[in-house]
């Protein structure tokens, strides 16, 4: 499945589950959603070098989903989300405040997620959530070992 379809199908899947879309970066073209750029505050000079954009950001109550999308499992996305939620966490909070009016105090938990067509036999990292997008309204959810007890999709 192409990334553009994964983007569209997963976005609608989560909206239908009651999650609020905060920001997004479609793989091509534009969408009716704001883009946030996680800028590196330590960088001197102009341009967006060292900045990150996240494919989809959703919120429900005080839980934030950061989702990276690819047709297949991609280690680079895991590394990117690990970095954003550790060394670059303050940059993420600043970007959310600036573009989405969301204060860091309103976020109790950040969940790193990947949205893929296939995991391609890779094991999902224990602190990640995986959305396996196989078609419209056909999304399977895989929980990393550490997230197994979370109730994220119940009313």
d(CA 69, CA 71): 7
Distance of CA 130 to the CA centre of its chain: 10
Separation in Å, CA 127 to CA 33, 63, 92, 121, 150 = 27, 14, 18, 17, 11
Instruction: Return the number of the residue (98 or 145) whose C-beta is nearest other proteins.
Output: 98
97 binds other proteins (CB under 8 A): no
Report yes or no: 127 and 109 within 8 Å, Cβ to Cβ. Answer: no
Sequence-distant (6+) residues with CB within 8 A of 87 are none
- Using CB under 8 A as the binding rule, whether residue 29 contacts other proteins is answered as yes
CB closer to other proteins out of 10 and 124: 10
Smallest distance from other proteins to CB 75, Å: 25
32 binds other proteins (CB under 8 A): yes
How far is it, in rounded angstroms, from Cα 12 to Cα 95? Answer: 24
Using alpha carbons only, give the angle 5, 126, 63 rounded to the nearest 5 degrees.
65
Would you say 16 or 79 has its CB closer to other proteins? 16
Nearer to other proteins, 8 or 122 (CB): 8
44 binds other proteins (CB under 8 A): no
Contact between 33 and other proteins (CB under 8 A)?
yes
Of the residues 16, 19, 31, 145, which one makes contact with other proteins according to CB under 8 A = 31
Residue 4 contacts other proteins per CB under 8 A: yes
Residue ranges in contact with other proteins by CB under 8 A? 2, 4-5, 7-8, 11, 26-35, 37, 39, 46, 48, 98-99
């Amino acid at each position: 499945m192409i990334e553009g379809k994964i983007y569209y199908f997963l976005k609608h899947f989560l909206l239908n589950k009651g999650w609020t879309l905060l920001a997004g970066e479609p793989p091509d073209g534009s969408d009716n959603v704001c883009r946030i750029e996680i800028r590196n505050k330590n960088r001197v000079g102009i341009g967006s070098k060292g900045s990150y954009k996240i494919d989809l950001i959703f919120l429900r109550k005080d839980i934030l989903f950061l989702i990276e999308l690819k047709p297949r499992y991609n280690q680079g996305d895991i590394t990117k989300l690990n970095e954003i939620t550790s060394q670059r966490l303050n940059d993420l909070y600043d970007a959310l405040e600036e573009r989405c009016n969301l204060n860091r105090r309103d976020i109790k938990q950040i969940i790193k997620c990947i949205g893929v067509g296939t995991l391609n036999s890779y094991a999902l990292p224990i602190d990640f959530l995986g959305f396996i997008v196989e078609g419209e309204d056909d999304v399977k959810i895989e929980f990393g070992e550490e997230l197994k007890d979370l109730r994220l999709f119940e009313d």
